[in-house]
Amino acid sequence: MKTEFLLGAALAVSLGAAAPAATLSASEILSQFSIVTAGDLDTNQDNYGRAYVGGNLETSGKADFANRDMPVSAYPDVIVEGNARGPGSIRIGSGGTTLAVRGDVSVDTVQFGVERTGEVLVGGTLSESTRQNINNKETPTFDGVRVESGLAGDAGFEALFPTDMVETLNRASEDLSMLAATGTATVSGGNTLNIDATSGGLNVYNFDISDFGGAIGQIDFSLGATDTLILNVSGSSILFEDNLLGLQAADGQRIIWNFYEATAVDIDRMVYGTVLAGNAALTNSTAIEGNVFAASAVLRGQVHLQPFAGELPPTDPAPVPLPATLPMLAAGLGLVGLMRRRRS
């Protein structure tokens, strides 16, 4: 089931008072979104899930999103608070339908894996060259990609943008950083750090980034089938270049790397799990089997879809409002923010 947001009809009735908003917790954000940045995102990679970009989306190549089946969300598949720009293209894969940009859009092309349910929704201006290069646009005789611009200030359009996603994840990172350790890593063979997370619940290990340096070149994990592993790592500058052993791709759904002090994170080896680095400029050159949250990100490696499915403490923050007007918008066919569901 895919959710399609259709904007463009004139507002037929007043929205009145906003309905009480539901909320997204940190766990839910990390399940529904693979990439969240407070500021700019620069990518030329295949990014398998949804993305929320708090600044500008810079397309230095093909920026590919939502090309796998994803957990259901009330939000569009790519949300950009600033502008989408650059010489590259944006592609929404077969798992998604909707690109929503609050600012302006000027990229080479916008493509959709499933063109008949695609939507390009723009608050500002859509450059004419981009408009001409949107594949399979809707016409009076063809049910193709719906394209709307100049939507800023429209209640239905504004409801598509969450308000506190970054704050929620920053608070989650802070809360996790204060958890007491439940285990202590051991060293074997002089170069292998061993982490056991088989307690059957929440496992917490606290490190300084220097613990991964020196002779240490690899980290060997034992992760139980129902365990969640929180790795709190202090330090302002993170260079991650250790090999990770003992993990499968799906294990990334139950691991969090919390770089809560970092202002720079450079990932040079494959990482399994969610990377929380809300104050950091993050770069990667290898794949991440999980999610990314950063102040800004330059992605030169893929971000694979591993929706968070672990356990967080009961304090899991949850102030992110869902689009409060969506139930009302869906109730009347003439409303600007009508939400339509289509089966894939």
List beta partners, residue 98: 119
Highest mean pLDDT among 6-10, 21-25, 227-231: 227-231
Residue 206's pLDDT band (cuts 50, 70, 90):
very high
Closest among 252, 241, 250 to 219, alpha carbons compared: 241
Instruction: Assign 320 to helix, strand or coil.
Output: strand
Residue 45 near residue 297, CB atoms below 8 Å: no
> What does the alpha-carbon distance between residue 314 and residue 174 come to, in Å, rounded to a whole number?
14
Residues 28-69 have pLDDT tens digits of: 999 999 999 999 999 999 999 999 999 999 998 999 999 999
Residues 178-195 have pLDDT tens digits of: 999 999 999 999 999 999
**Which one has a higher pLDDT value, 54 or 16?**
54
Q: For position 213, what pLDDT does the model report?
A: 87
Which residue in this structure is represented by tokens 């950091």? 280
Instruction: Assign 254 to helix, strand or coil.
Output: helix
Mean pLDDT of 283-311: 96
Q: For position 143, what pLDDT does the model report?
A: 84
Residue 115's pLDDT band (cuts 50, 70, 90):
low
Residue 326 pLDDT more than 50? no
> What does the alpha-carbon distance between residue 108 and residue 97 come to, in Å, rounded to a whole number?
19
Instruction: Assign 78 to helix, strand or coil.
Output: strand
Residue 321 near residue 164, CB atoms below 8 Å: yes
Q: Where are the beta strands (DSSP E) in 49-118?
A: 51-53, 57-59, 62-65, 78-80, 84-85, 89-92, 98-101, 105-106, 109-112
Residue 236 pLDDT more than 70? yes
Domain spans of the chain, in order of start:
2-166+318-342
